[in-house]
Structure 1
């Protein structure tokens, strides 16, 4: 029996470089499996895709190993924050008041 194939994307971005990988996966593939199949780490050496936080179109996926991907979705691999958002806001406010 033929499996239905879905065309999906995996995206990752650094401040100076971005990449979107398009791939075809079988229906029933999890969000996590899509990322593992993408080979996006070849463009970003050191990327720990196995432990990265994932989302779809800007919305975090709580259980990527359980959630199935749908046709046309873009999985986003999120980087760890380098600065606490509260601290960044405080820094911007301090600069504005000078």
Structure 2
């Protein structure tokens, strides 16, 4: 790899079980915002909105003006469609008290808590 060029991957999941991925060669000192712009993400997904906390590097939230390093993976995140607390509450109500919790899946005849 040349000292003046970075190889960066930009990924976005437009829906469940779908992945859009593009690998770019960018100049040294490029930022997350520049990588997203160069990837053509906005042209491919015009309805998607880049939220202030909607991107990161290797699964960690990062500001859009953060400089990138070689072999970084820029991830563009979608907004949540449902509140995680509400989803957990609904799952619990659906399963019932006996089907939820740490020890819900125990072998037959086992003591409670083991």
TM-score (norm 1): 0.84
CA-atom RMSD, angstroms? 2.2
**Cα displacement string for residues 30-78 of structure 1 (whole angstroms, at most 9, x for unaligned residues):** 11111111102343341234767101111111x212x101100110001
Q: Which runs of 4+ in 1 moved over 6 A?
A: none
Unaligned runs of 5+ in 1: none
User: Which has the larger strand fraction?
Assistant: 1
Q: Which has the larger radius of gyration?
A: 2
- 2:10–2:73 contact (8 Å) kept in structure 1: yes
User: What does residue 107 of structure 2 align with?
Assistant: none
The structure with higher relative contact order (CA 8 Å, sep 6+) is 1
User: What does residue 93 of structure 1 align with?
Assistant: 92
TM-score (norm 2): 0.73
User: What does residue 64 of structure 2 align with?
Assistant: 64
Unaligned runs of 5+ in 2: 98-114
